[in-house]
Amino acid sequence: MHELGIAASILDSVQAETDRRPGSHISKVGVRIGELAGVDSDALQFGFECLVKDTSFEPLELDIEAVPRMQRCPCGNEFRMTDYDPRCPACGEFMTQCVSGDQLEITYMEVEE
């Protein structure tokens, strides 16, 4: 379950931000997870809650945004890839490029001063 390691890394980032802002408290952290990242959002949420419980981070919340896989065609069309079919629905081109859906990133932290 690598989601627990990801949750721990998120908390490390929260701690680093808290250290940069003495006297502050972070109440919420948002993450963006692409469908190609190989992360189970429910397992991440559960692991995060377990790590936060009964610590100085409590009641820190985790907000997860799921990002679909998007492809870009040489014709300029961007589309959501479905059924593992990379063909462009506009022109039928097979050689399209993945432009989103593989990210795993912290997008924001809500800081209370």
Set out the domains of the chain in order of their start, with CATH numbers. Answer: 3-15+23-112 (3.30.2320.80)
C-alpha atoms less than 13 angstroms from C-alpha of 27 in its C-beta half-sphere = 4
**Amino acid at the residue 20:** R
Give pLDDT, residue 1.
Answer: 61
Sheet-wide strand order for 97-100 = 78-80, 70-72, 97-100
Per-residue pLDDT band at 112 (split at 50, 70, 90): confident
Model pLDDT for residues 70-95, shown as the tens digit of each residue: 999 999 999 999 888 999 999 999 99
Question: How many CB atoms are located within 10 Å of the residue 6 CB?
Answer: 19
Model pLDDT for residues 26-73, shown as the tens digit of each residue: 999 999 999 999 999 999 999 999 999 999 999 999 999 999 999 999
* Helix or strand holding residue 46 (H, E): helix 41-52
DSSP state of 55: S
